[in-house]
Chains A and B, each alone.
Chain A
Amino acid sequence: MTDPRHPSRLSSITRRAAVGAIAGGAALAAFWPRAPRSRRTIPSGRVVLRYWEKWTGPEGEAIQRVVDRYNESQDRAWVQRVPVADPMSKAMVAVGGGDPPDVLGLFSYNVAQFAEARAAMSLDEFASRPGAIDPSIYKPAVARMLSHQGRPWAGVNTCYTLALYCNRAILAGIGADPARLPRTIGELDALAERLNERDGAGKLSRVGFLPNLPSWWPYFWPIMFGGSLYDAARDRATVASDECIRAYEWIGRCAARISPAAAGAFANSYARSFHSPEDPFISGHAAMIVQGPWLANFIRHYNPSLDYAAVPVPLSPDVPDPDQPRGMLEADVLMIPRGCPHPEESFAFLSFMQSQEVQEQLAGEHCKSSPMARVSEAFMRTHANRSVAVHDAITASPRVEVLPQTRAWKPYADLLIGAFDEVWSGGDAAAIMTRVQSRAQAILDRASDLRKRREGAPA
């Protein structure tokens, strides 16, 4: 029995100390490192694959459903999708640090960079494995994007083309025929002019069309004028060609028609509103907009009653054969980084992703067209994007262009952002493009010199 005059060590604990100990224990329990919920549900005996992918929100949920489907379809591997923002930069650090994930979700313009650095495994290394991929399963331009210097480096994970989305109700409101959407740049200009609207103070309240709304593809317009940014055979920048200069002169005229400052301010005011209810097209502040097929996904979420239709982006009248749609194609791709822990299992997953059925599931949920050569009738019939046929036709078109397949594309593309701004402000397109071409060529030459030096050839 304890003597009350000499309390035991236990009874000498004060209330404050007890509360502190409990709080400390609770904090420790809260912050104690533990495996994420997804890891705890992994069936035993499975190889865990780390798969980095950029999508979040509804698009992330869609890819997760595909991943879940794969995990249920076999008992060898378990794919863990890790949402990663700016995956290219992080992938470079991971590869450089010697700890790459098993599967990387990147963009098609990253293929050249990884391929030339041999930082990814070429898919021909798996040619003898079950599920080996035959490039003829893809639409021709898609297959072109997935290979570099004659070897396949990536699998596709949906693709996109740009189209002109039109608000048919607004068009009907000014007496235009909503069934006859613009096919040439001239028709686009004329219709856009009629659709511009100003408020009582004389400020733009609605635009018909602006080529910088959004300003995500400053390198897109030369394609619609019959031009090309890059001659792969000669490794030359070609942005100062007549077609490219005509495209940028047209951009300058678009700005001048409204006033560069007013049109720029209008576009900039929506720079952070895309893919939201305040998106300029979804909210009715832009009657026509060049966008990817995902726009339909956001329309069905934020304004399902919007009456829209899409057509191939109008062409300069001197570009022949309007029946074969021209456009720009980009894709999300899957690559297996060299040095990844489980290349065999990674390839099995990548191969699963290349089936027509899986790509149709994912493309359907993302509102995109299918990258595959064969497209099911049900996919087209039940697609949530009512203009999927337009995107599909552009993707399949022999005249669709892909971005320059060179590892110097990003610094080249960034030069075009500044050039677009300069032309928009009234700069001389020919002089600007000549300067950009010279700088771009210097970037290409330097990249080529460094590559040759690494390969041991004289620079």
Chain B
Amino acid sequence: MPSLDDLRKRITSVKSTQKITKAMKMVAAAKLRKAQENAEKGRPYSEKMNNVILNLSKSITDKENAPKLLVGTGEEKVHLCIVLTADRGLCGGFNTNIIKKAKSYFEKIISENKTLKIITVGSKGYDQLKRQYKSYIVENISFKESKNINYFDADKVGKIIIEKFEKNEFDVCAIFYNKFKNVITQIPQEQQIVPLNEDKDDKDVSGNDNDYEFEPDEDEILSNLLPKNISTQIFKAMLENSASEQGSRMTAMDNATRNAGELVDRLTIEYNRSRQAAITKELIEIISGAESL
């Protein structure tokens, strides 16, 4: 049975924790709104980019000589996985969910005797993966210093990927991130970016308007465009991720605040009871003392 003093101390400590989680929730809520806005603003770019590439790839007739970034190297022995996570913790299952998704993919690759290479973006992902997959991690990038997500950072990651591709270091590249559905739901995603997976059921192939004029020719445009597309995809993933991170943190902190409240209630009752018990005990002692006189 803890003493009254112990109980009082615990109540204060839980209360101050509650204050922290509450503050974190507020901050996350404010950041979430901004992150969500950014994600929405960034959408037209990636959509248009996709459209252009779709139109271009339709008009390419010579599949044999098409850029490798589009059609792949023809093999799929080496898989490069880009795992995008947050730099900070305390955001519920956000990081763990991505890692879980990525791990199941890794296991599949390893069991098929293919080579696995991992690039982690964000320090939390690295922390969680290094225990088990240290030998596979080829690079570990973190943008802790940049305050906002910017295209410049995404481009850096994109350039690393392109460089590796040009050196024939991998055949297939997939990225892992959390897609922001709403504040409570974030869906871990696995998206293949090299070779580009054409969504077969992506809209109907709006007529046969292959009547674009290209300047210079298709191949040259594609080889200029595809590297950009990779950066764009990464950037999109980063935006989605940051909105998800804030959403996830908000929910987690909301829960934590509520749990702390419950704990405080319980402790307060216990504290009052034992205080009452102490008073009653004292009274009984006084009364029985008086009676025995």
Query: Do A and B originate from a single complex?
Result: no
Q: Which residues of A contact B (CB under 8 A)?
A: none
Q: Which residues of B contact A (CB under 8 A)?
A: none
